[in-house]
Structure 1
Amino acid sequence: MKKHTLLATMSLALVTAYAGAAQADKAADAPMKPAAQQTQAALWASRVLSRYHYKATPLDDAMSEKIFDRYFKSLDGEKLFFTQADIDSFSKEKTRLDDAINSENLQTPFAIYNLYQQRFADRMAYARELLKSKFDFTQDESYQFDREKADWPKTEAEVKDLWRKRVKNDWLRLKLAGKDDKSIRETLDKRYENYVTRSRKLNNEDVFQIFMNAYAMSIEPHTNYLGPRASENFDIAMRLSLEGIGAVLQNRDEYTVIREIVPGSPAGLSNKLKVGDRIVGVAQGDSDKFTDVLGWRIDDVVQLIRGPKDSTVKMQVLAADAGPDGKPYVLSLVRKKISMEEQSAKKTILEVKDGAVKRRVGVISLPTFYQDWDARRKGDKDYKSATRDVARLLGELKKEKVDNVLIDLRNNGGGSLTEAVELTGLFIDRGPVVQQRNAEGRVEVESDNVPGLAWEGPVGVLINRGSASASEIFAAAIQDYGRGLIIGEPSFGKGTVQTLVNLDRFGQSDKSRFGELKMTIAQFFRINGGTTQLRGVTPDIKLAATSDADSFGESSYDNALPYTQVKPAVYIPAGELKEIVPILDKKHEARVAKDKDYQYLLDDINYVKKQRKDNVVSLNETVRRKERDQQEARAKLREQRLAAGPSPDDPIQVADAKDALNKAIAAKPANPRAAQRQTNQVRGAIHTDDGLQGDERSLSAELEAEKAAKNAKDVLLNEAVHILADEVSVLRTDTRLASRVLPYVGDK
């Protein structure tokens, strides 16, 4: 079986898993140096990338220049630490990074990083020094909050002025939230100190991974280097399981804190661990030799806690309500296989009134196209699979007599190619699903060869800009077959296939740990001959677009592969939706024009778009207070709308999968940080800024805010359900149209 993936980026759940590596107690100020295995890994990676990549590019002076620029931007994307003079000081090395890799001498990239660390410390020291002075908030000046496209500061004076404005803005945000000068100074001083503390926990594996990704992503956006630990966690994310205790961990004030406990896990069944408890020491087996983990990075603590199934881990735990001088208790847990159910497919049923009847729409949210490759290869009958889970849910929805099914793929960044093909097979009766073209130009067709359908009724697919790769293959196939409606906004536009190349195969020893390459090896094409590359999947019925296509999506990359076409595959459409789409679209437009919640969402989107376009905030207190008052007025309107209760036409949740839809909103996207940031910007458009960062709020407040966000009304999902309810009504009243749109159903 081909272990090919279609992810733009995979975000890893923190069920005792996270990427990275470090020794927390390393000498903070010691210069970073490359390890021998890293220089060897870079050499082998370059040979693989320059020969076997879909866009094979030689490692030469031209590539060296691209790596040089991308590496600096990777370290300082907002251009707040380096000056132009710093960049110029390494100008002689701009065309020599290819030589550095080939000669196994990575001193230059590590020297660049060491300078970055020095500049980082300098800027933080300056920021903390500024807190001792007073700011004049009557001046008419502004702060540019997104500097990704700005020039590097030319002088030290210029970069100091940038930091003065940044600190001033941080101060003003807290001041507007009602904080006094003393608490503001304490909050910001601790914030900047924490920045330095976290920075000092990075090690040479982190530096090497940043540099190698600057190289890999200079070829094209979806090629990455995964260090040994990142590689392990990527595999965990794909199979949705690991061996551990089942606790989600988080760093807070140098402590490792229990953020969430997985039900049914060793941690949950112990009835001893509670949210907010702090792990201060870890020991293995029967040993009483505990390793003190105070101040450690989260991934290092995770590495100690995670281990083989049925082995024992012992932890020293400080209760959440215990003071700093409290006495920790010892808890022993036997590790088990933990299933990451949060990322599994889930269902619910929503109802829409249609005159005297109710249309029941089954909604299946699928956060990722997961599959446990190893378990399937070994013949495990219960291997984890997105397709198997969705098939089971469809069977349940059949028994519950739903009229239509909606597959929610919002923010689903992809996953297994096999799963994309097999999932499509649940809705078509055999046939081609996707075409692949390799570097040699050979085109292969991936088909569903299993007869029969798991669901014969009407179907819809809900997508957004965060729907990528495997999501786009599935949505495109459903659209090309005329099998169902595609609803939402244009998708990400990632039409490439990646495979994992284990660099350890080139090592001289069994102990070599070179990591892996996630490398693009092919481009996929729709069965109609087009590709989703750059353009994505265009919905049949468009909903409000919450993302910014200029900054998020394949078209936002400067080195994305171009749009191309191949010959269409031979396939027989299962239906024809051209006649019904205009009817449904007209109903949709009429409904949302009267839907206050939908119109509020449009207002919020336009507000955020304007903020992005302006890209500045005033540092004048009077101006900012006026803006804050406007925000509070917007929030009050929304609160009044919510207090009025749901509209009689709102879908009503009736199924057993409580909160499944809201959890689908938080599903991990193709570019999880970018997509979630844009979603949060829209949500935040109606909320008052408290000036705090996540870890500066109490854990209970943070969890409560997340719960409230998940439980917020999902306007776009509700409208998608209305559209599918309309479709059922039209098909039930016009049997001739139904026979053309959906031959599987006819006049049922």
Structure 2
Amino acid sequence: MDFKLFKEMLKRILLVTFTAAVLACQASPKPQPQVPGVINIVPDEKQSLVCREVVGLIENYNYKKIKLNDSISSLILDKYVKTLDPSRNYFTASDIKEFEQYRNSLDDDFRNGDLSAPFYIFNVYLKRYNEWIAYATTQINGKYDFTKNETYVYDREKMPWANSTGDLNGIWKQRVKYELVNLKIAGTVADKNVETLGKRYQSLKTQISKINNQDVFQIVMDAFTETIDPHTNYFNPTNAQQFNEDMARSFEGIGARLQLENEVLKIAEVIPGGPAFKSKLLSAGDRIVAVAQGNGEFEDIIGWRIENSVSKIKGPKGTKVRLKIVPVGKEMSSKPVIIELTREKIVMEEQSAKKTVKTIQSNGQPYRIGVITVPAFYADFKAANAGDPNYKSTTRDVRLLIDTLKNKDKVDAIVMDLRANGGGSLVEAIDLTGLFIDRGPVVQVRDIKNDVEVNEDQNAGVAWSGPFGVMVDRLSASASEIFAGAIQDYGRGIIMGTQTYGKGTVQSSIDMNRVVNPSILQRIAALVDKKNSIAGTTKETTPQLGQINLTMAKFYRVTGSSTQHKGVMPDIEFPSLYPMDKIGEDTEPSALPWDEIQKSNFTAVANLNPIKTDLVRLHKERMAKSLDYKMLQEDISDMKKREGEVSVTLNEAKLKEERDAAEAKSLARVNELRSSRGLAKLKKGDKVTKEESFDFILDESLQVVGDLIQKSNKAELVKAAPQSNKF
């Protein structure tokens, strides 16, 4: 984050007079349409106020300089409906037709703080949800023939909306059969399966009954802000607190970020340094279907609210939690894997860069290469501002590691591993770059007024002047892209991996209580107190309005090229373990485009282009003979095939056969790799230990750096870049 930019923008925001908001606050809200047969959820005055103010902030201070109109209203409606019912299991075609009346009016409604339309849509969804869960519950005890060659379409996102209740009845009956055959294939008895599924649907009913207007408002605002751009987000008070706790990077649990996808809890990210990361038992995309405390009984959590699931997974440090997971890439019918983790205190500020030393052979020559893994661009700003001379930061930690690698380990080269590093402190990205280049610009920042600030490394000298490589992947984002881009632009090292994420925007966190006129807060407090008095609930003194993370600026490389959308392209390219068409800024419809500004005044360290040609050639020659590379390509190909599948067989024998074949294939591939390394083969049921796991991408990256050591002799580089003495 550019803190000077943030302070300047916040000052401008605080100077705005919210006269229109005062007038709007006095206006009578539009009557809320009622949905019969369900307890309707309605918005409150605070949410109406916040909606108006967010519209004003976005229209006046978002980097896109965008005004809400009918076109944006249409996009918001589509995103909102898709968020509520992504697989088209609840709404009927007639519901969707009814919602069309709001297609071109949400922009005006939001500007006036009128939330009646999206809340009405949610109440329709709530009614449909309860209807279909009730119907599904009646089908659990039905008689099913698992020998029939039927299929169930579990992903109906691109299919038409069901025309009638009868059509959806058929879909839900198939869903029940699908869930029962999944449980049956997993190895439990029929009576237990019926009981499990009954509890699952009862849990769904219980969880939906706990939905409140804050939940609905958050969904509405997500659809609104993400239509503007992917990284402008509003957080209601509860979520704002959680967000800030996450930013504080301190909690007790397993060290994973979780999200719900089609009512199944999924690992969105494994946090570096936590129990899940160190165990290597969990990966992004894995789905958690049940949780047990220590040696206790498992609880089926499919369909639970995410905060309820998280509360089961989190817990005091030192305690154990067991999880049933379906690994990423496996069908939900696959037999769950049971893992056990010991919870720890995850203090994100204390996550440190770490080093290892690898010895490789390159053309018969041994080389020692230091690998520095940087999980995030962290800094303890509180300690730094307090004058603590030993405060934690990425740059300080890496500098110490480099000193050890140079003076004690006597390495020939260093590799910086930024895979899955989603970024962090801009200051740290600049300072870390400064360890490898002398003084000079690192990144440029352009604000909404098109003013460009050049952020420079102002510290003389370098910590490492030898051969250098940087590893990135599709999850390397933001500050990681600034660092990798600068290293590439200066010719200071070789970038290895895949195209990075492409997040080149700057967000500032704004407390909504700080931008609203105090007189409006007093009016809202009086209204809330009056309602609370009638209801007999607690008096509220100052309404909490949450916060907005607003996109207010954009990053550019020293060459003038934006990191936005395109990210950083590696010099040595590997196949991506992550689907490039599903993960990345360029997959976001509302993402800002790539563009360029004027080049900054920088001098490259060296011209590595002639060397890169040889490095690419040698890399490709190795890959043509590599069993690991061949299997990696096969895995990616298999994953792409599965992504195109939207249905699954309901025939028990076929489903079991498919699962067993997949497990046998996986075991055979592991054993083929183990044999190539001289390791004993595994039997069915054996687990691959942490020590036996292979990191082919790292191994090949080290070989590339071995080539770099041999190719980049001092004479060649001095000739290519006579102004440099760094490399």
TM-score by shorter chain over 0.5 = yes
Q: CA deviation at 1:81?
A: 1.9
Alpha-carbon distance in structure 1 between the residues aligned to 2:592 and 2:506? 12
- Bigger mean CA deviation after superposition, 473-482 or 230-239: 230-239
* Contact 2:561/2:595 (<8 A) preserved: yes
Q: CA deviation at 1:338?
A: 6.7
1:503 to 512, 537, 540: 512
* Contact 2:349/2:379 (<8 A) preserved: no
Q: CA deviation at 1:76?
A: 1.9
What secondary structure, in the 3-state scheme, does the structure 2 residue paired with 1:434 have?
A: strand
Alpha-carbon distance in structure 1 between the residues aligned to 2:162 and 2:383? 53
Is the aligned partner of 1:392 residue 2:400? yes
| Matched letter for residue 93 of structure 1 | Y
Deviation string 1:162-186 (CA, Å, 9 cap, x unpaired) is: 3333333333333334444233323
Q: CA deviation at 1:142?
A: 3.1
Is the aligned partner of 1:716 residue 2:724? no
What secondary structure, in the 3-state scheme, does the structure 2 residue paired with 1:411 have?
A: coil
Alpha-carbon distance in structure 1 between the residues aligned to 2:393 and 2:196? 46
Alpha-carbon distance in structure 2 between the residues aligned to 1:127 and 1:710? 46
What secondary structure, in the 3-state scheme, does the structure 2 residue paired with 1:530 have?
A: coil
Is the aligned partner of 1:106 residue 2:115? yes
Residues 642 and 439 of structure 1, relative CA distance in 2, 3 Å threshold: same
Residues 437 and 149 of structure 1, relative CA distance in 2, 3 Å threshold: farther
Is the aligned partner of 1:550 residue 2:529? no
Partner of 1:267: none
Q: CA deviation at 1:585?
A: 2.0
Is the aligned partner of 1:420 residue 2:426? no
Alpha-carbon distance in structure 1 between the residues aligned to 2:582 and 2:503? 15
Alpha-carbon distance in structure 1 between the residues aligned to 2:410 and 2:205? 57
Superposition TM-score, scaled by structure 2 size: 0.75
Count, aligned residues: 617
* Contact 1:238/1:370 (<8 A) preserved: no
Q: CA deviation at 1:539?
A: 0.8
1:727 to 699, 704, 708: 708
Q: CA deviation at 1:159?
A: 2.7
Partner of 2:716: 737
| Matched letter for residue 471 of structure 1 | S
Residues 187 and 337 of structure 1, relative CA distance in 2, 3 Å threshold: closer
Is the aligned partner of 1:154 residue 2:129? no
1:430 to 435, 439, 442: 439
| Matched letter for residue 93 of structure 2 | Q
1:212 to 204, 210, 221: 221
Alpha-carbon distance in structure 1 between the residues aligned to 2:640 and 2:673? 24
Partner of 1:360: 368
What secondary structure, in the 3-state scheme, does the structure 1 residue paired with 2:491 have?
A: coil
1:326-365, aligned counterparts within 5 Å? 339-340=347-348, 343-354=351-362, 358-365=366-373
Q: CA deviation at 1:214?
A: 1.0
1:455 to 460, 464, 469: 464
Q: CA deviation at 1:518?
A: 1.1
Alpha-carbon distance in structure 1 between the residues aligned to 2:358 and 2:553? 39
1:636 to 664, 667, 673: 667
1:79-98, aligned counterparts within 5 Å? 79-98=88-107
* Contact 2:254/2:274 (<8 A) preserved: no
Alpha-carbon distance in structure 2 between the residues aligned to 1:488 and 1:263? 24
Q: CA deviation at 1:726?
A: 2.6
What secondary structure, in the 3-state scheme, does the structure 1 residue paired with 2:145 have?
A: coil
Residues 454 and 305 of structure 1, relative CA distance in 2, 3 Å threshold: same
Q: CA deviation at 1:118?
A: 2.6
Q: Percent identity among equivalent residues?
A: 37
**Structure 2: gaps spanning 5 or more residues:** 7-37, 259-269, 276-291, 297-303, 323-343, 522-540
| Matched letter for residue 228 of structure 1 | P
1:119 to 128, 148, 154: 128
What secondary structure, in the 3-state scheme, does the structure 2 residue paired with 1:221 have?
A: coil
Alpha-carbon distance in structure 1 between the residues aligned to 2:428 and 2:369? 24
1:523 to 534, 554, 559: 554
1:371 to 379, 401, 405: 379
What secondary structure, in the 3-state scheme, does the structure 1 residue paired with 2:503 have?
A: coil
* Contact 1:5/1:498 (<8 A) preserved: no
* Contact 1:369/1:414 (<8 A) preserved: yes
Residues 736 and 387 of structure 1, relative CA distance in 2, 3 Å threshold: same
Deviation string 1:653-683 (CA, Å, 9 cap, x unpaired) is: xxxxxxxxxxxxxxxxxxxxxxxxxxxxxxx
* Contact 1:5/1:415 (<8 A) preserved: no
Partner of 2:87: 78
1:514 to 525, 531, 545: 545
Alpha-carbon distance in structure 2 between the residues aligned to 1:58 and 1:745? 49
Superposition TM-score, scaled by structure 1 size: 0.73
Partner of 1:569: 600
Alpha-carbon distance in structure 2 between the residues aligned to 1:4 and 1:708? 48
Alpha-carbon distance in structure 2 between the residues aligned to 1:479 and 1:503? 40
* Contact 1:219/1:559 (<8 A) preserved: yes
Deviation string 1:336-380 (CA, Å, 9 cap, x unpaired) is: 997236854222222213466532222222232233444444444
**Structure 1: gaps spanning 5 or more residues:** 7-28, 252-258, 265-273, 279-293, 307-314, 322-335, 649-685, 691-703
* Contact 2:627/2:673 (<8 A) preserved: no
Alpha-carbon distance in structure 2 between the residues aligned to 1:449 and 1:551? 39
* Contact 2:349/2:392 (<8 A) preserved: no
Alpha-carbon distance in structure 2 between the residues aligned to 1:583 and 1:351? 22
Partner of 2:635: 604
Residues 249 and 414 of structure 1, relative CA distance in 2, 3 Å threshold: closer
1:62 to 66, 71, 85: 71
* Contact 1:370/1:416 (<8 A) preserved: yes
Partner of 1:624: 655
What secondary structure, in the 3-state scheme, does the structure 2 residue paired with 1:353 have?
A: strand
Partner of 1:494: 503
Alpha-carbon distance in structure 2 between the residues aligned to 1:152 and 1:411? 37
Partner of 2:200: 191
RMSD: 4.1
Alpha-carbon distance in structure 2 between the residues aligned to 1:709 and 1:186? 37
| Matched letter for residue 642 of structure 2 | Q
* Contact 2:253/2:315 (<8 A) preserved: no
| Matched letter for residue 716 of structure 2 | L
Alpha-carbon distance in structure 1 between the residues aligned to 2:446 and 2:2? 15
Residues 299 and 139 of structure 1, relative CA distance in 2, 3 Å threshold: closer
| Matched letter for residue 502 of structure 2 | G
Q: CA deviation at 1:431?
A: 1.0
Alpha-carbon distance in structure 1 between the residues aligned to 2:497 and 2:683? 25
| Matched letter for residue 707 of structure 2 | D
Partner of 2:294: 276
What secondary structure, in the 3-state scheme, does the structure 2 residue paired with 1:90 have?
A: helix
Alpha-carbon distance in structure 2 between the residues aligned to 1:36 and 1:600? 58
* Contact 2:419/2:473 (<8 A) preserved: yes
Alpha-carbon distance in structure 1 between the residues aligned to 2:646 and 2:456? 47
Residues 630 and 63 of structure 1, relative CA distance in 2, 3 Å threshold: same
1:290-329, aligned counterparts within 5 Å? 297-298=307-308
What secondary structure, in the 3-state scheme, does the structure 2 residue paired with 1:565 have?
A: coil
Alpha-carbon distance in structure 2 between the residues aligned to 1:196 and 1:644? 51
What secondary structure, in the 3-state scheme, does the structure 2 residue paired with 1:579 have?
A: helix
